Amino acid sequence: MKKVLFTIALACTALFAVADNNDGLMEAQTKKGPYLTNGFWDNWFVSVAGGAQIYFGAGDGDRADFGDRLTPEIAVSVGKWITPSVGVRAQASGYKLKSYPVAGAYGHKFTSLAAHADFMWNLSNAIGGYRTDRFYEVVPYVGAGMARSGGVKEKYRDNHKYSMTLNVGIINKFRISNAFDIEVELKAWTVNNDYDKRYVGHGKQFRPVASLTAGLTYNFNKNNFNRPTVAVPADYTPYNNRIAGLESDLSASKAKADQLAKDLAAEKARAEALANEAKKSGKFDYESVVFFDINKATLSPKTKASIEMAAKMIKSTPDKKYQVVGYADKQTGSAAYNTKLAQKRAVAVYDALVAAGVNKDQIEAVNGFSEGAQPFGKPIYMNRAVIIK
């Protein structure tokens, strides 16, 4: 008998190894680590199975063949997976058992019904990591419960016998869909040595019962598990870098504005100094002067102070007429080119004065002269100017 059980167990192990090897060919989706515990009504399952069981009574192996001692078993289970690796279930199983109290006698049949609660450990998920597409999983379990035998009617004997049970087993799960599994379960449990109500002896306090069943399991409601969402701190580096860049640009713009203000102040002081110098020399009588860069007829930011000062002066004397006269230094360019350049400079100053609020009627003429006309003499850059007089 022991050899037969060993052969069955070895065959099951070989089958499971082949199934797991095929499963290894699938794309790996292993996920180890903590998982969220789902709601109370999630991850439940119900199983219905049928198979064969055998009672190991005292001397039964010597009085009957192994096949004659087998009886049917029906099992119904309800359980819940708490995590991908840990679960609990309740199972009710039984039907008939046989014992052989007397050599050569026919098997003594009696009813047997057992109910037990089990703690399950999904070894595949615990070691190999949780996978929703794994084809085969092995689930050992341990549990305890109560069994009741009956159907024996003898004088001076109780018709029923109750016994505490200790249960161990292995569930072999084969996934066929998200909702359904096929399960092959090898189970052993213990009862009192007089569970069959026929024989007590040999000093043993318990008798084993073993069974092999196969059945279908339905997983209902949510039947998978999710990892906890780990809050990832937001990366503000790009924003901080952008802010730092804007602050740098703002600082550079402020420094540029400060430098421009200094340049304007310096240009204003330079213009006033040149004007005072020219007036003292008696070479030309004028009210204000605007200087230009070489070969340029456009107003630079530095000339703003000169324009503002001239506009203020003109607007303060509304009854007075003024002339805007442009010049170019004769050391660079031809006389014809310098005449045009001087005229452009005069027009640029005129437009700026009007834009600053000067009445057009106060400006009588806008002219450009170059033929030998050098209002300031030397240095030559002073002659690149427009005089308002």
Site of tokens 């834009």: 355
105: phi then psi, degrees, rounded to nearest 5: -85, 160
The residues of the chain scoring below 50 in pLDDT are: 1-30, 155-156, 201-203, 281-285
Single pTM value for the model: 0.52
**344 Cβ contact list (under 8 Å, min separation 6):** 297, 326, 368
Please report the pLDDT score of residue 33 as a whole number: 61
Q: Give the per-residue pLDDT at 279.
A: 52
* pLDDT score for 105: 55
Assigned token pair, 70: 């087998």
Helix axes 304-315, 237-281, angle to 10 degrees: 60
> Can you tell me the distance from the alpha carbon of 172 to that of 33, in angstroms, rounded to the nearest whole number?
23
Residue type for 166, please? L
Instruction: Give the separation between CA 75 and CA 367, rounded to whole angstroms.
Output: 117
CATH numbers and ranges of domains, the chain: 2-220 (2.40.160.20), 262-388 (3.30.1330.60)
Residue 106: predicted pLDDT: 61
Six token digits for residue 289: 């002067």
pLDDT at 307: 83
CB-based contacts of 353: which residues, under 8 Å, 6+ apart? 307, 310, 311, 314, 324, 363, 388
383, 376 in Cβ contact below 8 A?
yes
pLDDT at 323: 87
Supply the pLDDT for residue 331: 81
Asked whether the beta carbons of 139 and 132 are under 8 A apart, the reply is no
